[in-house]
């Protein structure tokens, strides 16, 4: 495959950062302080931050699915064939080095550091789950790990599970691609009905289960397929979306923010059964997030292309490191507040904890990307068909 023919989407790095930013703030404002938990301001902020965190993970799955589906279709189109083995090697070079380094930090370095400061700590989680990328099922069965540094890696497990099968599914359904997305959607809906009743009101069963997250993954893949196959049909949905006016694009973005701001009355109402509301919520957000990716890549009348925001693009480039390290920064931010005896002050908590965390993780992610991850990323060019 001629790598010069690979399509580079210049706005997607910035979207990666947006996804991370939502996840980060969804985690950064957790607290053990009973005083803060009773504070009205904190309660209001935490309510919305929790919704943003969920949306950030959904965006990450949609974005990853979009990019990986495009990569597979592009390689098969440009070279006339596609090698799943080479695809797996490329994903391993991107994901595994930093992933396993983060596991080493969580399972080895954190307990060691705690012992040094006379705070005995033992991580009770079984590392086998995370080594073999089924960490999300550990959370489903046992709850969060002792160290949040490990728990947050559940989303990497979900992605790796899906992409084991995804190349083969695309090849198997290459001439019946509509059936593939219909099948994925049906599995998502059926599994949601089933999982919703397994343990009532148990968030772990649903929000960390791979089948439930197919709603996000399928939608990202569908929009990638629509984008890639657009040239074969000028009257396709691609053409309609590509030529949306600025006002139409603004309406869609406004709809997204309306869904976030009025989340409870829209998706937690008593008009429909809880599981039906949940399915609608997942599909609505997945469609909106997938559209944002399409809009940034192809729409001719965008208000702004996020790639112009150079800081966002830079932070998106190192966003995998930001994601892997962000719980470390949050832990340090919490410890700084405790040392300053500010952990119960809502103003300082809302500002200082995330600020300290960002000051810690941005340089760490920069060093990780340019002096560690990049050494492996440069090898990917040798593993294309």
More confident residue, 59 or 6: 59
What tokens were used for 225?
């397929």
Please state, rounded to an integer, the average pLDDT across all residues of the chain: 89
Tell me the per-residue pLDDT of 40-88, one tens digit each, with 9 for 90 and over: 898 888 888 888 899 999 999 999 999 999 988 888 888 777 888 999 9
| Mean of pLDDT values over 269-281 | 86
Tell me the per-residue pLDDT of 236-266, one tens digit each, with 9 for 90 and over: 778 888 899 999 999 999 999 999 999 989 9
Of all residues in the chain, what percent are helix, strand and coil, respectively (each to 5)?
75, 0, 25
Domain of residue 168 covers 3-382
| Mean of pLDDT values over 127-133 | 96
Distance CA 122, CA 111 (A): 6
Q: What is the pLDDT of residue 319?
A: 97
pLDDT score of 117 more than 90: no
Distance CA 157, CA 133 (A): 4
Q: What is the pLDDT of residue 308?
A: 93
- Contact present, 317 and 310 (Cβ < 8 Å): no
The burial of 229, by beta-carbon neighbours within 10 Å (0-12 exposed, 13-18 middle, 19 or more buried), is given as middle
Distance CA 173, CA 177 (A): 5
pTM metric for this prediction = 0.92
Distance CA 83, CA 89 (A): 10
More confident residue, 41 or 232: 41
The 10 Å Cβ neighbour count of residue 228 is 17
Confidence of residue 275 (pLDDT cuts 50, 70, 90): confident
Least confident of 130-139, 194-203, 229-238: 229-238
Query: Which residues does 307 contact at the CB level (< 8 Å), separation at least 6?
Result: 10, 11, 13, 14, 296, 313
DSSP assignment of 154-199: HHHHHHHHHHHHHHHHHHHTTT-HHHHHHHHHHHHHHHHHHHHHHS
How many structural domains does the chain have?
Answer: 1
């Amino acid at each position: 495959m001629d790598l010069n023919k690979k399509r580079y989407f210049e706005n997607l790095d910035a979207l990666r950062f947006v996804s991370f930013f939502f996840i980060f703030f969804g985690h950064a404002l957790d607290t053990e302080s009973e005083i803060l938990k009773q504070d009205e301001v904190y309660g209001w902020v935490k309510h919305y931050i929790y919704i943003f965190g969920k949306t950030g993970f959904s965006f990450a799955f949609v974005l990853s699915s979009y990019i990986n589906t495009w990569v597979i279709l592009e390689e098969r189109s440009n070279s006339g064939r596609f090698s799943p083995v080479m695809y797996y090697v490329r994903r391993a070079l991107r994901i595994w080095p930093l992933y396993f380094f983060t596991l080493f930090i969580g399972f080895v370095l954190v307990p060691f550091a705690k012992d040094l400061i006379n705070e005995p700590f033992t991580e009770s989680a079984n590392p086998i789950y995370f080594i073999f990328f089924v960490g999300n099922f550990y959370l489903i069965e046992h709850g969060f790990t002792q160290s949040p540094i490990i728990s947050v890696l559940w989303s990497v497990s979900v992605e790796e599970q899906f992409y084991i099968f995804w190349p083969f599914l695309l090849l198997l359904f290459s001439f019946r691609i509509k059936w593939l997305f219909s099948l994925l959607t049906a599995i998502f809906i059926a599994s949601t009905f089933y999982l919703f009743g397994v343990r009532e009101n148990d968030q772990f069963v649903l929000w960390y289960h791979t089948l439930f997250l197919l709603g996000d993954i399928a939608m990202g893949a569908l929009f990638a397929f629509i984008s890639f196959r657009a040239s074969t049909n000028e009257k396709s949905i691609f053409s309609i979306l590509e030529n949306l006016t600025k006002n139409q694009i603004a309406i869609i973005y406004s709809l997204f923010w309306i869904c976030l701001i009025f989340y409870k009355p829209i998706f937690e109402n008593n008009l429909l059964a809880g599981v039906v509301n949940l399915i609608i919520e997942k599909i609505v957000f997945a469609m909106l997030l997938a559209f944002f990716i399409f809009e940034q890549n192809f729409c001719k009348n965008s208000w702004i292309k996020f790639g112009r925001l150079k800081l966002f693009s830079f932070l998106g480039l190192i966003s995998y490191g930001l994601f892997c390290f962000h719980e470390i920064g949050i832990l340090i931010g919490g410890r700084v507040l405790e040392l300053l005896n500010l952990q119960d002050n809502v103003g300082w908590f809302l500002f200082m904890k995330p600020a300290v965390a960002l000051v810690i993780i941005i340089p760490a992610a920069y060093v990780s990307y340019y002096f560690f991850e990049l050494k492996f990323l440069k090898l990917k060019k040798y593993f294309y068909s």
